[in-house]
Structure 1
Amino acid sequence: MTDVAAGAQTRSKTITWQDPLPTARLGATMTGFEYMTAIAEGRVPAPPIAAHFGLRWEHIGHGEVVAVAEPDESLYNPIGMVHGGVAATLLDSVVGCAVHTTLPAGVGYSSVELKVSYLRAIHAGRGEIRATGRVVKEGSRIAFAEGEIRDAEGKLLATASGTCVITR
């Protein structure tokens, strides 16, 4: 063990969530907009991934969603910044959930492609980050959406374009 590692303080993080399967089954009986609104309002539990990132839904609209998170150092990569996979996951979430808000009850979606561009590093302790997803084109089998993440000052951190398959 190096001297730096020997002097490092151990930290821990506790994450709690509810069984996601009953919630997902309930969601299948609602339109995507109704389901996402119910999650945002706390009437149904958020998926477990939200607990990992401290994610909360700030806005749910038809074809557009906004999520807010405040990353902490438990999400750091080996070079001292939030791992790019966190940004990709947040972008995949808002892109997919934007598509979800356009779907009728009983219809699902799955990401089939996500292209992420990382523009600035994300660091803990610099305030909330805001991820926005919006549908660009919705078809009967495929939907296209875009996403972006901005920091507390409005600086653009990452962008994404995604494709979702619609499952009936």
Structure 2
Amino acid sequence: MAEKSRQRQYSWSDPHATHGQHVSLSGLDFISSLARGEIDHSPAAHTLGFRVTKAESGSATIDLTPSEYHYNAVGSVHGGILTSILDSAMGFAISTTLPPGVGYTSLDVTVQFIRAVTESTGTITATGTAQHTGKTTATALGEIRDSTDRLIATATTRCMLFPAKE
């Protein structure tokens, strides 16, 4: 007998409205508003199921509770999911150092995976820490830890900075 397929439904807000708020606020104010739930998370955040939980100048924290829909073919959370939340946490950390009207995008991300993640791992936390913010580029470090503070993955990124368009 064939196994019944699984389904997942979710919704998201207009990303253009969120972008308009990003352009008008400092990065710290924008990421803090995400963490407080005053601004809705991006469609990507809704798709992956993560949320920003903390923002301070130079750092940002994201929580993700692993689910079956995050799994790869070998039964653990896909490395691309972990990379995505690290990329977001590090980018958000850089954002917290930026004034209004400055945008950013990842130039590169390097990830080192240390242990597998499954539903039984429980909620994982990705933390990004800005290391350097210059005129045209910025760098950050990231890590993912489980609820017992075990290290899951580490990462570095380099982002390009540019005037944000409304």
Question: Could you report, residue by residue, the CA deviation over 1:75-100 in whole angstroms, capped at 9, with x for unpaired residues?
Answer: 11111111000010001000101000
- Measured in 1, the distance between the counterparts of 2:105 and 2:53 equals 22
**TM-superposition CA deviations, 1:118-165 (whole Å, max 9, x none):** 110111132100000001111111111000001111111111000001
Is 2:131–2:141's contact at 8 Å kept on the other side of the alignment? Answer: yes
User: What is the match of residue 81 of structure 1?
Assistant: 76
Structure 1 residues 54-80: Cα deviation after superposition (integer angstroms, max 9, x where no partner)? 212221000101111101011111111
**Identity across the alignment (%):** 35
CA distance in 2, matches of 1:111, 1:21: 20
Q: How far apart, in 2, do the equivalents of 1:78 and 1:19 lie?
A: 32
- Greater Rg by CA: 1
**Is 1:165 aligned to 2:165, yes or no?**
no
Instruction: From the superposition, tell whether residues 15 and 125 of structure 1 become closer, same or farther in structure 2 (CA, over 3 Å).
Output: farther
Q: Considering only aligned residues, what root-mean-square deviation do their CA atoms show, in Å? A: 1.1
For 1:38 and 1:78, the matched residues in 2 are separated by 36
The structural deviation recorded for 1:7 is: 4.1
| Superposed CA offset, 1:8-42 (max 9, x none) | 34211111101111110121011001111111111
Q: Which blocks of at least 5 consecutive residues in structure 1 are unaligned?
A: 1-5
CA distance in 1, matches of 2:17, 2:99: 19
Check if 1:140 corresponds to 2:135: yes
The DSSP-based 3-state class of the residue aligned with 1:38 is helix
Match for residue 17 of structure 2 among 10, 22, 25: 22
* Aligned pairs for 1:1-168 within 5 A: 6-168=1-163
Output the amino acid matched with 1:116. V
Checking the alignment, whether the CA contact within 8 Å between 1:53 and 1:70 is kept in structure 2 is no
Partner SS, residue 120 of structure 2: coil
* SS state at 1:10 partner: coil
Q: CA deviation at 1:51?
A: 1.3
Which runs of 5 or more residues in structure 2 are unaligned?
A: none
Number of residue pairs matched? 163
